[in-house]
Chain A
Amino acid sequence: MARRGKASGKATGKAKGALRPKAAPPAERFSTPRLLRNLALAALPVVLLWLALTPFYNRFLIAAGGNLVRLTEVPNATELVPALEDRHYALVVRTDFPPATRRVGSFRVTDLHFHLLLLGTLFLAVPGVPWQERLRNLGWALLAAVCFHVVLVLLWVKFQYATQLGDWSLEHYGPAARNFWGLAKHLADLPVKLGLPLGLWVVFYLDRLLPRREAM
């Protein structure tokens, strides 16, 4: 730590009055031990908040995702409804199917957004950043995550329509469409979902990890 501080201090001194812009000082780097300590401190509140808000957020996602699905279909035949037996699940219902077969699928809504635990903990744990800035960055990251979740609901429903309904899927979706929705759901539900917290964190805080841009 001392080595790093010394180095950057000297470089800053040399750059004084030369190339460094007055309005944009470089972001301070953080120490890993403080990050680990903050992660431990932030984890419990984030978990409790997520657990408390999950039932409401699931309902919001089911409603918003259902609206997005209906925007993409003519005529509107899809309804997403919360499962009565398990509040973590959503049922996919098609109103144009016979009553006995209207329930065409389901998915676990809570699984779509459990990565918020990781996102919240990472954003709140960054040391050396004022709380106001941390919360503002977290707010932007959450907004991006919510948009992603709504799109993920759409991908889950389209994936079920395109690949899981047997003859009906074959009749309504060609090979290209089946592959497209299958791959899109796979990529969104695994790499993008799992990598999103790190990706969003990097957007706001990578400059604290990268070597300083020093003017020589």
Chain B
Amino acid sequence: MSDERPKEPTDATQSTGWRAYRREITFLVVFLVLLAGSFTLISWNPVNDLVIEPFTGGVAVVSGWTLDLIGQDVEMQGTVIRNSRFAVNIMNGCNGVETMLIFLSAVLAFPAPWKMRLAGAAFGVVAIQLVNLLRVVALFLTGVYFPDFFDASHTVVWQTVVILCGVLLWIVWADRVARPAPAAAKSA
């Protein structure tokens, strides 16, 4: 793959029928295949045990440190974070991996140079993990101070927010990648 900005076929405007949507169809097919493949992969026991579980443990540790930093005085027991008023267990699904896979599938399916895909993937993964950290901390604080709202906040609000952040990151990245380069703009 070259690192040139993508060049479009010059006769694309003449395409008719389904060919006019070739790029959309290609994106969707690759996106769905990557999405289903990656989710199947992480549900495979060896991958889950060797990769996902330790990663989830890491998320729990960082979340515990962060909660300590803001004065929650928590203690860790495996993936359980607890203080005198509340406890949460960080499990698969709380680790931001689903959103990362959606984002990565969309980045890899988008027609862009590999260098930009890798840069976007690296930046996106870090950003999504930061949002997920915010989510865990916010959920813990919700459990401590507004326990009645914990369930709705856990299953609906924050899950939507984290995925929305992943989708937005992809849109922003794709928009930047797809802009014509200055040289291309001059020669156009």
Give A contacts to B, CB under 8 Å. Answer: 3-4, 6-8, 10-11, 14-15, 19-21, 24, 26, 29-30, 32, 35-36, 39, 108, 110-111, 114-115, 117-118, 121-122, 183, 186-187, 190-192, 194-195, 197-199, 201-203, 206-207, 209-216
Scoring B residues 112 to 147 as 1 if CB is less than 8 Å from chain A, else 0, what string do you get?
000000000000000000000000000000000000
B10 surroundings in chain A (CB, below 8 A) = 19, 214-216
Q: Nearest chain A CB to B132's CB is how many angstroms away?
A: 14
Q: Taking CB as reference atom, which chain B residue is nearest A50?
A: B156
- Chain B residues lying within 8 Å of A30, measured Cβ to Cβ, are 175
Q: Find the residue from B13, B28, B32, B175 having the highest chain A CB count within 10 A.
A: B13
| A-B interface contact total, Cβ < 8 Å | 136
The 8 Å CB contact of A203, one of B24, B111, B168, is B24
Q: How far is the CA of A215 from the CA of B160 in the complex (A)?
A: 40
Query: What are the residues of chain B within 8 A of A8 when measuring CB–CB?
Result: 180
Query: Which residues of chain A come closer than 8 Å to B39, judged between CB atoms?
Result: 186-187, 190-191
How many angstroms from the CA of A20 to the CA of B111 in the assembled complex?
23
Would you call the interface of chain B mostly helix, strand, loop, or mixed? helix
Q: Contacts A4-B180, A118-B167, A195-B105 given: A213-B32 contact, CB under 8 Å?
A: no
- Which residues of the other chain, B, contact A117 by a CB distance below 8 angstroms? 156, 160
Chain A residues near B31 (CB, 8 Å)? Answer: 195, 198-199, 202
> Contacts A186-B43, A210-B111 known; A114 to B13 CB distance under 8 Å?
no
A191 lies within 8 A of B182 (CB): no
CB-based nearest B residue for A20? B13
Residue in B8, B40, B102 whose CB lies within 8 Å of A198: B102
Contact of B24 among A3, A4, A206 (CB under 8 A): A206
B185: chain A residues at CB < 8 Å are 3-4, 6-7, 10
By beta carbon, the residue of chain A nearest B151 is: A88
Q: Which B residues are CB-close (under 8 A) to A195?
A: 31-32, 35, 102, 105
**Contact: A187 with B36, CB < 8 Å?**
yes
C-alpha spacing A6/B24, complex, angstroms = 25
A24 to B12, CA, bound (A): 12
Is A114 a contact of B8 with CB atoms below 8 Å?
no
A15 (CB) vs chain B CBs: closest residue: B13
Task: Among A4, A19, A39, A114, point to the contact of B156 (Cβ < 8 A).
Answer: A114
Q: Which residues of chain A are within 8 angstroms of B35 by Cβ–Cβ distance?
A: 191-192, 195
Contact at B155–A114, with CB atoms within 8 Å?
A: yes
